[in-house]
Amino acid sequence: MLSSDTQFAQNHCLDNAETPLIKAKQLSHYFGSSELRKRVLSDIDLSIFAGEIVIISGPSGSGKTTLLTLIGGLRSVQAGSLKLLGKEMKKASKPAMIAVRQQIGYVFQAHNLLTFLTAKQNVRMSLELHSDYLHQTHQDIDQLAIDTLTEVGLGDRIDYPINKLSGGQKQRVGIARALASYPKIVLADEPTASLDRQSGRDVVDIMYRLAKERGSIVLLVTHDDRILDVADRILHMEDGRLLSAA
């Protein structure tokens, strides 16, 4: 069975010098210590390029979310190499990891929104963490929050409290929050798991459209077979190993 990098190179004729925004080489990870130490990722090799929509599928416990948290800079790299946006994450300093995380957007299954705030206020809070980006682009935080919510179809819900929105609308706010600062990488962990068929399809289509327009990577972890058709590549994991790409 071909590795993900080998199959992708064959399918896309990678003969240019484009640098992947995500590149893992022999990436491994462990939980616990001494006799309780358990290997949860084994020798992951993976390259993902700007504008790609990549889905990671596989059974529960296969290592998908652990890989996502490493790529998100939420865990320290223990073994192997992981380069994000050209920066090596193994032994990276805390400031370096923070700088990379500021260029990554996160979409969570459970939304993780502040329910006592409005949709705009939730997006605005995220933007306030990206002051360097906003300073460079001279963007107004309020207007950028409004514009992004409008892009995800919530132009008429901008000032609604989160607890007044449906599940699908909450997930759209989550997408707006993740994408408002124009991140180079968007990570989504089971973004459709709590949604009905149509709402799930809508939020994935929004991520697909905005990623393609902006040239961002979107990396999704999902069990949802209904959304596999949006992917440029589908990677399958089992027992901590990346087995195949399609």
* Distance separating alpha carbons of residues 65 and 27, to the nearest angstrom: 14
Q: Most distant CA pair in the chain: distance in Å?
A: 56
Q: Above 90 in pLDDT, residue 81?
A: yes
Across the range 63-80, mean pLDDT stands at 90
- Residues of the chain above pLDDT 70, percent: 88
Which ranges of the chain would DSSP assign to H, the alpha helix? 4-12, 64-71, 94-101, 119-127, 131-137, 141-151, 167-179, 197-214
Q: What is the pLDDT of residues 87-134, one digit of tens each?
A: 999 998 888 888 888 888 888 777 788 888 999 999 988 887 766 655
Give residues with Cβ within 8 angstroms of 10, minimum separation 6.
Answer: 2
Q: What is the pTM of this model?
A: 0.81
Contact between 40 and 63 (Cβ < 8 Å): yes
Q: What is the pLDDT of residues 14-35, one digit of tens each?
A: 433 478 899 999 999 999 877 7
Length of the chain: 246
Count each helix (H run) and each strand (E run) in the chain, helices first: 8, 10
* Distance separating alpha carbons of residues 184 and 186, to the nearest angstrom: 7
Q: What is the pLDDT of residues 31-71, one digit of tens each?
A: 987 778 888 899 999 999 988 999 998 888 888 889 999 99
Q: To which H or E segment does residue 80 belong?
A: strand 79-84
Q: How many of the other CB atoms lie within 10 Å of CB of 18? A: 10
Across the range 70-92, mean pLDDT stands at 90
What is the per-residue pLDDT for 138? Answer: 56
* Distance separating alpha carbons of residues 209 and 64, to the nearest angstrom: 24
Q: How many of the other CB atoms lie within 10 Å of CB of 196? A: 12
Contact between 114 and 122 (Cβ < 8 Å): yes
What is the per-residue pLDDT for 82? Answer: 94
* Distance separating alpha carbons of residues 163 and 178, to the nearest angstrom: 19
Quote the tokens at residue 95: 């400031």
Q: What is the pLDDT of residues 167-225, one digit of tens each?
A: 888 888 988 888 888 888 999 888 887 778 888 888 888 888 877 888 889 999 988 88
Amino acid at 79: A
What is the per-residue pLDDT for 3? Answer: 44
What is the per-residue pLDDT for 244? Answer: 64
* Distance separating alpha carbons of residues 228 and 222, to the nearest angstrom: 9
What is the per-residue pLDDT for 1? Answer: 39
34-63 burial string, b = 16+ CB within 10 Å, else e? eeeeeebbbbbbbbbbbebbbbbbbeeebb
